[in-house]
Amino acid sequence: MLVLGIESSCDETGVALVETMAGPVPRLLAHALHSQIEMHQAYGGVVPELASRDHIRRVLPLADEVLRSAGRVLRQTGLVAYTRGPGLAGALLVGAGVASAMGAALGVPVLGIHHLEGHLLSPFLSADPPEFPFVALLVSGGHTQLMRVDAVGQYRMLGETMDDAAGEAFDKSAKLMGLGYPGGPALSRLAEQGDPAAFKLPRPLLHSGDLDFSFAGLKTAVLTQARKLGDDLGARKADLAASTQAAIVEVLLKKSLAALRQTGLRRLVVAGGVGANRRLREQLDAACARQGVRVHYPELHLCTDNGAMIAMAAAMRLQAGIAEPSRAYSFDVKPRWPLDALTEQ
C-alpha cells in the first residue's frame, strides 16, 4: 500500500511517499521538503502565524513533486498520514486539514502520527535499519528524552529534560553569542575552530543517578561567561561555542551510556535535529564501539524534521497491525502530547 505522509509541526513542510511491503521495513519512494528557516531568520526564531501560512502555500506543490518523482499518481494512495502533534497548533492544523481533505477526496483513511515517533523510527529509513529492542536518545529542538523501545508503539520513558531541550540549549546559547537562528548548526560549525576545554561550564545533572536532563542552567552559565568576556567575546567566540557544545555533548553521552547500562540493551538509536551534531556522533561512536554497542542514526538529511519519517511511522504502524486509521475526516491536533502515551498499557 502507498502511504502519503505530511509533516507540518514547526518550520519545515515535508511530504513523502512510502510503500508497505511483504518485508519487515517499508520502503521510501520519494520525499520533498521546504524549510522556512530563511523566512523566520529575520525574526530570530519561528513566528507561528507565518509558519502556518507558509505550510498552506507549500504542502500541495510538495505533494505533486513527491508523486511525480515516485512516478505515481495521487489516486494510488491508500492512506494519508499527518503529524498530529506535538508542535505549533496552527501549523499542525494545516497538515491535519490537508490530509483529511485528501483522504475524503480519495475515499481512503487518514492517520495522525506522533512527531517524536517519526523521529524515533527515522533510522528505519536508512540502508542498515536497527532491530528492536533499543534505547533511543531523542534530541530535538523541543524534546530531550531517553526511551526504551521494544517494538513499534512500545515506548517507555527512561528520562527526560526538566526544563530546556538539548536543541534549545544549542539555540539559546547561539542566540546570545549572536549566531542567529537556528543556532545549533551555526554553533557547532563555529565550535570546530575552538577549544572545548577553554571555559569550565556546568554539566547539569551529570551525577544525579537518574536519566533526567536539565539544560537551563547551562544557558545562564554561557550568558554569564559571555558578559564576563565583554569586548573580548568576539575573539573568544569559537572557544565559548566549543565549550558549550562539549558540555551538552558530554551530558547526552554519559546519560545514554547510563541508559544502556541500566536496561542491559546493546543498541542505541539517536534521532532528532541534534542527532546531526558531528561531535555528538563522534563521541557516541567511540564510546559505544568500546562497549560493543551498535549505534544507529537517521541519514543526516533526515535528522531534522521531514515527511519521510511521518510516512514511515504510519507504514510501520500499519505493518505492525496497531494503526487505527479513520474515515471520519474530523481531525484534531495535539500540540502537547507525551510520547509514552502511545504505549498501550
Q: Is the peptide bond before 130 cis (omega within 30 degrees of 0)?
A: no
Min CB(289)–ligand KG4 separation in Å: 21
Q: Which of residues 107-126 bind ligand KG4 (CB under 6 A)?
A: 119
Return the C-alpha cell found at 137.
536518545
The CA distance from 141 to 174, in Å, is 13
Q: Which of residues 183-242 bind ligand KG4 (CB under 6 A)?
A: 183-185, 188
Answer positive or negative: Cα dihedral of 250, 251, 252, 254: positive
The yes or no reply on residue 305 touching Zn ion (CB under 5 A) is yes
Plot region of 138 (φ>0 → left; ψ -120 to 50 → alpha; else → beta): beta
Q: Which of residues 264-293 bind ligand KG4 (CB under 6 A)?
A: 272-274, 276-277
Q: Which is nearer to ligand KG4, 130 or 184 (CB)?
A: 184
**Residue whose cell numbers read 471520519:** 328
Q: Which is nearer to ligand KG4, 245 or 319 (CB)?
A: 245
Q: State the Cα torsion 264-270-272-275 to the nearest 10°.
A: 140
The one segment of 43-51, 92-100, 211-219, 302-310 that binds Zn ion by CB under 5 A: 302-310
Q: Which of 140, 173, 214, 225 binds Zn ion (CB under 5 A)?
A: 140
Q: Which of 7, 117, 164, 171 binds ligand KG4 (CB under 6 A)?
A: 171
Q: Which of 118, 141, 204, 307 binds ligand KG4 (CB under 6 A)?
A: 141
Min CB(119)–Zn ion separation in Å: 5
Q: Which residues touch 105 (CB under 8 Å, ≥6 apart)?
A: none
3-state secondary structure of 193: coil
The CA distance from 268 to 265, in Å, is 8
Min CB(219)–ligand KG4 separation in Å: 13
**Residue whose cell numbers read 544507529:** 296
Structural element, H or E, at residue 146: strand 144-151
The one segment of 79-87, 170-178, 220-228, 300-308 that binds Zn ion by CB under 5 A: 300-308
The CA distance from 113 to 118, in Å, is 7
The one segment of 23-31, 104-112, 140-148, 291-299 that binds ligand KG4 by CB under 6 A: 140-148
Min CB(281)–ligand KG4 separation in Å: 9
Query: How big, in percent rounded to 5, are the helix, strand and coil portions of the chain?
Result: 50, 20, 30
- ∠ CA 192-189-91 to the nearest 5 degrees? 150
Min CB(297)–ligand KG4 separation in Å: 12
The yes or no reply on residue 144 touching Zn ion (CB under 5 A) is no
Number of residues that bind ligand KG4 (CB under 6 A): 20
The yes or no reply on residue 305 touching ligand KG4 (CB under 6 A) is yes
Number of residues that bind Zn ion (CB under 5 A): 2
**Binding residues vs ligand KG4 (CB under 6 A):** 10, 119, 140-142, 167, 170-171, 182-185, 188, 272-274, 276-277, 304-305
